Structure 1
Amino acid sequence: MIRFLTPIVMVLLLLPLPGAGQEPIPGPTLPREVRDQVLQFLNAPATLRLPGGARIPLGTTVEGDIGVLGGGLHLAGRVQGDLVVVNGDLRLEDGAVVEGAVLVVGGRVAGTELARIAGGLEVHQASLRYRIRDDRVEAEEPPGVEVPGFLEQDLGPARVRFTLRAAGNYNRVEGLPVSFGPVLEAGGRNPFLLEGFGIWRSVDGLDIARENLGYAFRAQQGLGGSGELFLELSTFSRVAQVEDRGLSDTEASLATFMLRRDFLDYFERSGWSASVALRPVDRPIRFQAEYREEDHTSVSIRDPWTIRDQERAWRPMAAMAEGPLRTLALEAALDTRDDLREPAMGWWVQTRLRRAVGGDLRFPAVFRETDQGTEGFVLAPGVFPLALDGMLDLRRYNRLGPDSRLHFRLVATGSLDGNPLPPQHQLALGGEGSLPAHPRFSLDCGARTSTLFRRGEEVYPFYGCDRIILGQMEYHGLLPFSWTPGASRKEEWEWGALMELQPAWTFFLNGGRGWAMEGAPELGPSEDSPFRADVGAGLHLGALGLYWAYPLNRRDRGLNFFVRLQHRF
């Protein structure tokens, strides 16, 4: 009976609920004293509130304090007072002047060298969730994530709360992973964060067996007093995705739970990591260096509850390399998008270099099935070489006019030194997240042309390609009308921030291919995947999109209709 409660838990913990409508920005939680300061400022009678996306042009002077809610501000004129921007970026143009102090919460600041700020600048990357009731701005905890306030304790210099939330997508290995445990936060110039989560996997209900439990502990300390440099230590034991295949956790969960189709593969990783991150408050860039020591193991397909097709077998997973692995990774990111949810202009660039510096990853024993049963085909001991791999995800957003946008994306990832990668570091293309007109995993370098058996379970010999490249282009045109539910009811939740519906149409083009490296242990990739391309069109209303895609080559299927719950990129 407990297994059938999983749908309720999933709805409460995973699916988005009405709230302030702002997309959380990665980083530390907003300190309580800053939150209270912002609310007091926004609710002051003398504060002029502006909606996000406002612009104060050159030659314009605004007298008094200004609070900008739910979006950015372009400032070229003069503000004779204090300025607070909530959940948006402040872009200062040449000649801009703020005669008071500037506070930005949940965003970034650009152009400080072009402007004059008399009262100082303070920036917090953590966003503020809020609602407006009776014309007052009130703070709200994330719905479906934080437990009731009686489990939150203010300790003076620190605050501790108990947290319950989804730790990933609903899947055929864990069911719904749920993390639970305390979070301790201390503000100040060098903020401190400590999380201690247990992870419960719902696949067997309340059966507390070792395979149904995991953990994740994390400590983060700010350094230097500027809010820009952070040191982090973590230890963990959790089930991880090989890749997200361009799907959100919500999309992957609904496909598994409602359709009994899990499009992802998984493995278990346990170990520890240490990292140092630099996040300048006045620049749209960040850097991180991370060292990891992990043990990787394969996981078995189990049988979580689904709405339909209970008797249908799950899609087999790929065999994963097992053993210890030590890696050193360097990451950098540039984000100049004008809006995190609906970008119209700017760059988003993410890069990573990862070097395996030690370990002993190898395939587990596998067997081949014959007419007489499973043949005693055991893979000869073979260790994966210590590879260097990298990732580049480059996105450019262009506003062509008031109602048209043109976006480009280039993804290149994989082995840089010619060494083959273990399956859990390989990638595949095909399907709704990459090449929607082509079958899922259609570019996997031959991984799914045969199956083997591992510990009595059918598996594919490997996951995908050692190197892939993907190019995407989208043209967006806005339709000449919009709809904001509940816009006249200011006393209710800010539905407008969450559901300001602007219908749009889109045309897209995709192309990609994959490569296999030589020298893998016996079951490595066997062939390159040739170039595939497709074209399509769609209609979307907010994050909901209806799309049609058609292959331009290798037409092994016709027109494909699909639904997305997030933008493609």
Structure 2
Amino acid sequence: MRFSIVAAAALLMAGAAVSPAQERRPDHPGPDSTLPRAAAREVARLYAEPHGLRGHGRTEIRAADVVEGHASVIDGPLLVAGRVNGRVLAINADVILQAGARIDGDLLIVGGDVEGLATAVVTGEIRVYREPLRFSREGERLIIEEVAREGDDDSWWRRWERRRESPGRSRLVIASAGTYNRVEGLPVHVGPSLRMVRGSTRLRADAFAVFRTGSSFRSDSNDVGHHLALEARHGSTTGLRAGIQGFNRVAAVESWQLSALEYGMSAFLFRRDYLDLYGRHGGEGYLGVFDDRIGDATISYSHERWSPRSSENPWSLFRRGAGWRENPALDRGRFHVLTGRARIDTRNDNERPWAGWYVQADVEQGAGDIDVAGVSSPETRGSAAGRANYTRGFLDARSYNRVGPAAQLNFRLVAGGWLGGDPLPLQRRLSVSGPGALPGFDFRTPIEAGADPGTCAVGGAVPGRPALCDRIALAQVEYRGDLRFDVLGGADWRRDDMYFRNDAMWVVFADAGRGWLVGDGADRRMHYGPGDFPALSTFRTDMGIGLDFGTFGVFAVKAISDGDEPVNFLFRLRHRF
């Protein structure tokens, strides 16, 4: 029996699974909103339509009540035991559906959650946005407050900043520049940031130094990076964006398996770094289109210098006597890289989706020179130093499907790797190993001999156990059901002013995946032709079960394809996918 700990202090957050609802003021809903603009405008439009019921604060539709027409509630909660012959709109409010409740129409919630779907009927579409809506009221009209939205680096857990007192557009930023890791410690952006808005056009300029707590402050080191960026964006919900940037940063070879929070907390707390890292220094220009409702597409061109980075010895909360996994010695070289990226996102909720698709895809054409080849297993590639022209692709497609009032069947397919040209540089290789891919198998378990379908090492382990696969394929499926707690023995507790919300779900899942090498080789278990696909019987498989409490999950996983592997237990701070 083994424990694979991916999260940080997960048990301390268990109280969030069943917690008292928080009252919200309609005009001051709390933290900065990241609600999609299209959703905010839809709410304002729907609220202005004729209604059979408008409520403010705690509102109840009793079992004998029938609402003819639409029902809207601001700053609820809304408790429904009766029937609504129309749409239900909850703004900065939770919706509690009691047994026998019926909504003959859509259910749209912003700034709240829904409970009781298992014992109620909703004939229309259900959409839940957890982000609150910022607005003011003029009679029966909502005036939406436009809130400037930043990129992912403005998340609450990654940013502290000091703004100027004037309402100007400049500010001093002190923010995390990435996840905590064994090469940098914590990378930190420090520098000015400028924002300018003219109508529907926004200009952003950043000039950051990147300090690394693991190496920048030593007397024998001047390891300071930089991030210089200029971007123009035209359009509100749809439009164009273009920009240029110069960078000197530490990048991950692959980061698709876990969330950034989980990567960083695993390293900071438990000295377990699941990333392979390398230095990336250069400049890039890009042009893209976006539609906040469905996704975006970008094409970029960059000139970069890649270099290996060695492990430092940053501090960790636990296991300080254990050594860090050695960071693999990757290639040193210079490359021109042309990349096309596309993203489609139709999920109803970014954090806990019930329906929709999320698809990320990219194709990369690289041309350059490898000056010093990194360390790899003998059969991974031939003579590596010299000219390298390659084409690589990557796809991550996820489908979320509501199959019952409180049940989901979700699917994920990940595939990527070499598409043509010379063998891939080590910085562009892939793997299928670890808690985010095949959690039934230990992360990059060393092998004494033979072939490893997780990392594609042939003939023995390589220092640092890097990702060496030319291609990978991974399929994941999960069924999620509502886990209910009857803490009051069947009493009609929802009628009280203080009620409890249960976010827990049970999850059953299965995974199948492997990597392989393209081309000739002595070990036919690992080498396949450019047009060949490994037999499904050669894939690693596992199955698991667990509890997802919304803020964290606890899972037990057993390898199926290798019966000798013991059960693994793990915590997650995000949904599996």
Shift of 1:449: 5.1
In the aligned structure 2, how far is the partner of 1:287 from the partner of 1:53?
Answer: 39
**2:294 corresponds to 1:284:** yes
**2:217 corresponds to 1:206:** yes
1:436-490 per-position Cα deviation (integer Å, ceiling 9, x unaligned): 00121353454385467xxxxx555x5320110000000001112499xxxx999
Q: Which residue of structure 1 aligns with residue 519 of structure 2?
A: 518
1:11-33 per-position Cα deviation (integer Å, ceiling 9, x unaligned): 9xxx9xx9957895899xx9xxx
Shift of 1:248: 2.2
Shift of 1:250: 2.5
Structure 1 segment 50-449 matched on structure 2, within 5 A: 60=86, 68-69=91-92, 126=149, 142=156, 145-149=159-163, 151=164, 153-155=166-168, 159-187=169-197, 188-204=199-215, 206-207=217-218, 211-223=222-234, 228-244=239-255, 246-281=257-292, 283-356=293-366, 358-364=367-373, 382-383=385-386, 385-417=388-420, 419-441=422-444, 443-447=453-457
Instruction: Please tell me whether the aligned partners of residues 195 and 202 of structure 2 are also in contact (alpha carbons under 8 angstroms).
Output: yes
- Secondary structure (helix, strand or coil) at the match of 1:154 reads coil
Shift of 1:548: 0.6
Shift of 1:517: 2.2
Q: Which residue of structure 2 aligns with residue 493 of structure 1?
A: none
Structure 1 range deviating more: 186-195 or 265-274: 186-195
In the aligned structure 2, how far is the partner of 1:231 from the partner of 1:259?
Answer: 40
Instruction: Please tell me whether the aligned partners of residues 223 and 231 of structure 1 are also in contact (alpha carbons under 8 angstroms).
Output: no
Letter matched to residue 512 of structure 1? G
Shift of 1:213: 1.0
Shift of 1:345: 0.8
Unaligned regions of 5+ residues in structure 1, if any? 1-9, 89-95, 97-103, 109-117, 130-139, 369-378, 453-457, 491-495
Instruction: Please tell me whether the aligned partners of residues 105 and 123 of structure 1 are also in contact (alpha carbons under 8 angstroms).
Output: no
- Secondary structure (helix, strand or coil) at the match of 1:385 reads strand
- Secondary structure (helix, strand or coil) at the match of 2:261 reads helix
1:86–1:289 distance in 2 versus 1, CA, 3 Å:
farther
Q: Which residue of structure 1 aligns with residue 571 of structure 2?
A: 563
Structure 1 range deviating more: 443-452 or 548-557: 443-452
Q: 2:74 aligns with which of 49, 55, 80?
A: 49
Letter matched to residue 273 of structure 1? E
Instruction: Please tell me whether the aligned partners of residues 298 and 342 of structure 2 are also in contact (alpha carbons under 8 angstroms).
Output: yes
Identity %: 28
Letter matched to residue 145 of structure 1? R
In the aligned structure 1, how far is the partner of 2:222 from the partner of 2:150?
Answer: 35
Higher relative contact order (CA 8 A, sep 6+): 2
Shift of 1:183: 1.5
Letter matched to residue 361 of structure 2? T
- Secondary structure (helix, strand or coil) at the match of 1:254 reads helix
Instruction: Please tell me whether the aligned partners of residues 319 and 423 of structure 1 are also in contact (alpha carbons under 8 angstroms).
Output: no
In the aligned structure 1, how far is the partner of 2:207 from the partner of 2:151?
Answer: 23
1:364-395 per-position Cα deviation (integer Å, ceiling 9, x unaligned): 47699xxxxxxxxxx96623631111111111
- Secondary structure (helix, strand or coil) at the match of 2:352 reads coil
Number of aligned residues: 463
Shift of 1:313: 2.9
- Secondary structure (helix, strand or coil) at the match of 1:216 reads strand
Instruction: Please tell me whether the aligned partners of residues 190 and 227 of structure 1 are also in contact (alpha carbons under 8 angstroms).
Output: no
Letter matched to residue 467 of structure 2? Y
In the aligned structure 2, how far is the partner of 1:84 from the partner of 1:402?
Answer: 16
Shift of 1:310: 3.6
Structure 1 range deviating more: 189-198 or 549-558: 549-558
Q: Which residue of structure 2 aligns with residue 376 of structure 1?
A: none
Letter matched to residue 554 of structure 1? D
- Secondary structure (helix, strand or coil) at the match of 1:229 reads strand
In the aligned structure 2, how far is the partner of 1:54 from the partner of 1:413?
Answer: 47
Letter matched to residue 477 of structure 2? M
Instruction: Please tell me whether the aligned partners of residues 535 and 549 of structure 1 are also in contact (alpha carbons under 8 angstroms).
Output: yes
Instruction: Please tell me whether the aligned partners of residues 420 and 519 of structure 1 are also in contact (alpha carbons under 8 angstroms).
Output: no
Instruction: Please tell me whether the aligned partners of residues 266 and 299 of structure 1 are also in contact (alpha carbons under 8 angstroms).
Output: yes
Instruction: Please tell me whether the aligned partners of residues 277 and 289 of structure 1 are also in contact (alpha carbons under 8 angstroms).
Output: yes
Structure 1 segment 533-552 matched on structure 2, within 5 A: 533-552=541-560
Question: TM-score scaled by structure 2?
Answer: 0.68
Shift of 1:226: 7.1
1:449–1:308 distance in 2 versus 1, CA, 3 Å:
farther
Letter matched to residue 423 of structure 1? L
Instruction: Please tell me whether the aligned partners of residues 173 and 301 of structure 1 are also in contact (alpha carbons under 8 angstroms).
Output: yes
Structure 1 range deviating more: 267-276 or 161-170: 161-170
Unaligned regions of 5+ residues in structure 2, if any? 1-7, 17-28, 49-55, 58-71, 96-102, 114-124, 134-140, 445-451, 488-495, 529-533
Shift of 1:223: 3.3
Instruction: Please tell me whether the aligned partners of residues 223 and 230 of structure 1 are also in contact (alpha carbons under 8 angstroms).
Output: yes
Q: Which residue of structure 1 aligns with residue 562 of structure 2?
A: 554
Q: Which residue of structure 2 aligns with residue 371 of structure 1?
A: none
Instruction: Please tell me whether the aligned partners of residues 164 and 178 of structure 1 are also in contact (alpha carbons under 8 angstroms).
Output: yes
Q: Which residue of structure 2 aligns with residue 509 of structure 1?
A: 510
In the aligned structure 2, how far is the partner of 1:559 from the partner of 1:203?
Answer: 35
Instruction: Please tell me whether the aligned partners of residues 268 and 299 of structure 1 are also in contact (alpha carbons under 8 angstroms).
Output: yes
- Secondary structure (helix, strand or coil) at the match of 1:505 reads strand
Shift of 1:76: 11
Shift of 1:417: 1.9
Q: 1:474 aligns with which of 474, 478, 482?
A: 478
In the aligned structure 2, how far is the partner of 1:482 from the partner of 1:167?
Answer: 44
1:212–1:69 distance in 2 versus 1, CA, 3 Å:
farther
Letter matched to residue 316 of structure 2? T
| Displacement over 6 Å in runs of 4+ | 45-48, 51-55, 75-78, 83-88, 104-108, 118-125, 365-368
1:23–1:206 distance in 2 versus 1, CA, 3 Å:
farther
1:479–1:125 distance in 2 versus 1, CA, 3 Å:
farther
Q: Pairwise CA RMSD of aligned residues?
A: 4.8
Instruction: Please tell me whether the aligned partners of residues 172 and 256 of structure 1 are also in contact (alpha carbons under 8 angstroms).
Output: yes
In the aligned structure 2, how far is the partner of 1:53 from the partner of 1:360?
Answer: 63
Letter matched to residue 225 of structure 2? G
Instruction: Please tell me whether the aligned partners of residues 184 and 314 of structure 2 are also in contact (alpha carbons under 8 angstroms).
Output: yes
In the aligned structure 2, how far is the partner of 1:143 from the partner of 1:26?
Answer: 20
In the aligned structure 1, how far is the partner of 2:340 from the partner of 2:365?
Answer: 9
Shift of 1:311: 4.2
Shift of 1:122: 11
Letter matched to residue 552 of structure 2? L
Letter matched to residue 564 of structure 1? R
